[in-house]
Amino acid sequence: MLLNSRDFPANAREGLGNPTLQKALSMARTGFPEKRARAIERLPEFESLREKARAIKEATLANLDFYLETYENKVLAAGGKVHWARSASEAREAVLAICRSVGAKTVTKGKSMVAEEVGLNPFLEENGITPIETDLGEYIIQLRREPPSHIIAPAIHLVKEEVAQSFREAHRELPPQRPLSEARQLCDEARAVLRPRFLAADAGITGANFLVAETGSSLIVTNEGNGDLTQLLPRVHIVMASIEKLVPTLEDAATLLRLLARSATGQEFSAYTTLSTGPRREGDEDGPEAYHVVLLDNGRSALLGGEFEDILRCIRCAACLNHCPVYTAVGGHAYGTVYPGPMGAVLSPALFGLEECAHLPNASTFCGRCEAVCPMQIPLPKMMRGWREREFTQKKAPAVARAALRLWAFFALRPGLYHPFARIVARALFAAGARRGRFRSLLFHSGWTAVRDLPAPEGRTFHHLWAKRRKGA
């Protein structure tokens, strides 16, 4: 779902000025990277697994049509159904139709970024179906009517006092004297409230970390067990997944799984990795009676074979978010799309349009940490630059910036003009700023001097001095 990416600078300012958000982010900024680093140190093969994982995903994408068809056949053979959706609206309609076919009134949901992408919850509500998020973080933000701010830790922008307040407002039966000051108490409260809802739901919707072509299985990776209860207890299990989630075999999934949890939370392995293949079998005492998969394209097939294809390797571990100095400064909501951070800066323009999301690929220093930690070796800075190039060639970049760049290039290509001009600028800036050594404000540099001084130059250019030295020599 696209929210307000156009307002990124204002959103960012708001995030920077929000002290509780900053407190929450300061915990994430060190926590995730330290845990990841420790996990990777324990697996000497991490780098070679990255290479292998990349090769697996590249080979899968190159034959995605084959793997999708193979997967579909396997799902059908296991007694499941596959629904293909070109767009967000087709995906929403497919889910609604399944829910209506079984008269579902309430649906539990495991965390699904694809469901967020297509805006499933508001749509179900409009159509008289109550979606209940069951991942603790998702549940909290659903109560607060907020979008997720992180792709694996949706409530990372909140501190526990805010969670407590949301629970007190929403949970009518909660005695006011019950303490909710610790994470433990908040967890227990959510567990107690959600347990009957798991048991009563008519349908359960989960995402999928991978779809396995070999077996027709969907695979989810969770820690709470909510995804498993969601798909186990109701009569119907609906999997929402985008087409690039395919992997050929269980062995290929294993390679990706060895990277996923370590990159995401720094765990050796998540608590629950679950393969689901079709509905309950004859003789089974539990499990859903029907199993549906909604396969979403939503612009992804258009990325294949092009300069943004690499983003389809993404396994949504969020390491790029956790290591991004911009993300950890402004928080996920500033991005105004369900996919924030570096992976979102590449994916969101593809899904929601460059014009809407133009800020996102621009809001990067190209520090390269995202690419360095990406388990799938996705060249995120390169692709952000690719969006900037499209913006520039399609003349969507601001006219002043374009003109300034062209002027710079004009001089840079003409040393005979450039060097004398540089000499004048160096002298002028020196004359104006030498006494203090720096400028507190400077015409045309308000973006710079709003927050820091500009050191004054030494007064002569290197090339001027070099020429004099050579003459003197």
Partner 1 sequence: MSEPREEILGAIRRAFKRGALAAEAAGELSRRLAAHPRNPVPQRAAALEEEDRLRLFVAMAEEADARVSQLDSLDAVPAAVAEYLARENLPAEIVMAPDPMLEALPWKREPLLAIRRGRAEAGDAVSLTPAFAAIAETGTLMLISGAETPTSLNFLPDTHIVVVAARQVVASYEEGFDLLRAAAAEKGWPRTVNFVTGPSRTADIEQTIELGAHGPRRLHIILVGEREPAGKK
Partner 2 sequence: MAETGVRVGLFVTCLVDLFRPSVGFAAVKLLEEAGCSVEAPFAQTCCGQPSYNSGDRQSATRIAEKVIETFADYDYVVVPSGSCAGMIRRHYPGLFAEDAEMRARAEALAAKTYELTSFLVGVRGFTRVKARWRKRVTYHDGCSGLRELGVRDEPRTLLASVEGLALSELSGAETCCGFGGSFAVKYPDISDKMVADKVADIAASGAEAVLCGDLGCLLNIAGKLCRLGRAVEARHVAEVLAGMAEELPPIGAPG
Is the distance from CB of 329 to CB of 367 less than 8 angstroms? no
Residues that bind partner 2 (CB under 8 A): 9, 12-13, 16, 325-326, 329-330, 362-369, 371-372, 385, 387-393, 397, 401-402, 405-406, 408-409, 411-413, 415, 418-419, 422, 425-426, 430, 434-438, 440, 445, 447-448, 450-467
- Among residues 140, 139, 137, the alpha carbon closest in space to that of 153 is found at 137
Instruction: Supply the minimum distance, in Å, between the C-beta of residue 459 and partner 2.
Output: 7
Which of partner 1, partner 2, none binds 189 (CB below 5-8 Å, type-dependent)?
A: none
Does 371 sit near partner 1 (CB under 8 A)?
no
| Shortest distance (Å) from residue 108 CB to partner 2 | 38
Cβ closer to partner 2: 97 or 407? 407
Asked whether position 225 contacts partner 1 by CB under 8 A, the answer is yes
Label each residue of the chain as H, E or C: CECCHHHHHHHHHHHHCCHHHHHHHHHHHHHHHHHHHHHHHCCCCHHHHHHHHHHHHHHHHHCHHHHHHHHHHHHHHCCCEEEEECCHHHHHHHHHHHHHHCCCCEEEECCCHHHHHCCHHHHHHHCCCEEEECCHHHHHHHHCCCCCCCCCCCCCCCCHHHHHHHHHHHCCCCCCCCCCCCHHHHHHHHHHHHHHHHHHCCEEEECCCEEECCCCEEEEEECCCHHHHHHHCCCEEEEEEEHHHEECCHHHHHHHHHHHHHHHCCCCCCCEEEEECCCCCCCCCCCCCEEEEEEECCCCHHHCCCCCHHHHHCCCCCHHHHCCCCHHHHCHHHHCECCCHHHHHHHHHHHHCHHHHCHHHHCCCCCCHHHHHCCCCCCHHHHHHHHHHHHHHCCCCCHHHHHHHHHHHHHHCCHHHHHHHHHHHHHHHHHHHCCCCEECCCCCCHHHHCCCCEECCCCCCHHHHHHHHHHHC
Residue 197 touches which of partner 2, partner 1, none (Cβ within 5-8 Å per kind): none
Question: Does residue 189 touch partner 1 according to CB under 8 A?
Answer: no
Footprint (CB under 8 A) of partner 1, residues 238-267: 243, 248-252, 254-255, 257-258, 265, 267
Among 9, 13, 27, 127, binds partner 1 (CB under 8 A): 27
Name the binder of 9 from partner 1, partner 2, none, CB < 5-8 A by kind: partner 2
Whether 433 contacts 456, CB under 8 Å: yes
Q: Give the interface segment with partner 1, choosing from 82-90, 120-128, 326-334, 430-438 (CB under 8 A).
A: 82-90
Number of residues that bind partner 1 (CB under 8 A): 102
The verdict on 11 binding partner 1 (CB under 8 A) reads no
- Per partner kind, with CB cut-offs from 5 to 8 A, the member of partner 1, partner 2, none near residue 145 is none
- Whole-number minimum distance, CB 31 to partner 1, in Å? 5
Q: Contact with partner 1 (CB under 8 A): which of 10, 37, 199, 465?
A: 199
Answer with the entry of partner 1, partner 2, none that 232 interacts with (C-beta below 5 to 8 A by kind): partner 1
Contact mark string toward partner 1, 268..287, x via CB under 8 A:
xxxxxxxxxxxxxx-xxxxx
Residue among 145 and 471 whose Cβ is closer to partner 2: 471
Token readout for 268 is 């050796």
- Cα separation values, 204 from 110, 180, 200, Å: 8, 29, 10
Decide: is 123 part of the binding site for partner 1 (CB under 8 A).
no
Identity of the residue, 91 or 456, whose beta carbon is nearer to partner 1 in the bound complex: 91
Q: How many residues does the chain have?
A: 473
Residue 453 binding: pick among partner 2, partner 1, none (C-beta 5-8 Å cut-off by kind): partner 2
Among positions 191, 396, 414, 445, the unique one binding partner 1 when judged by CB under 8 A: 191
Q: Does 301 bind partner 1 (CB under 8 A)?
A: yes
Q: Interface with partner 1 by CB under 8 A: which range of 149-157, 169-177, 413-421, 425-433?
A: 149-157
- Residues 6 or more apart from 179 whose CB is under 8 A from it? 185
- Is 90 a binding residue for partner 1 by CB under 8 A? The answer is yes
Of the residues 102, 193, 232, 354, which one makes contact with partner 1 according to CB under 8 A: 232
Q: How far is the CB of 336 from partner 2 (least distance, A)?
A: 14
262 binds, among partner 1, partner 2, none (CB under 5 to 8 A by kind): none
Question: Taking the complex as a whole, how short is the minimal distance between the CB of residue 378 and partner 1, in angstroms?
Answer: 18
Partner touching 362 among partner 2, partner 1, none, CB below 5 to 8 Å by kind: partner 2
Number of other residues whose CB lies within 10 A of the CB of residue 15: 20
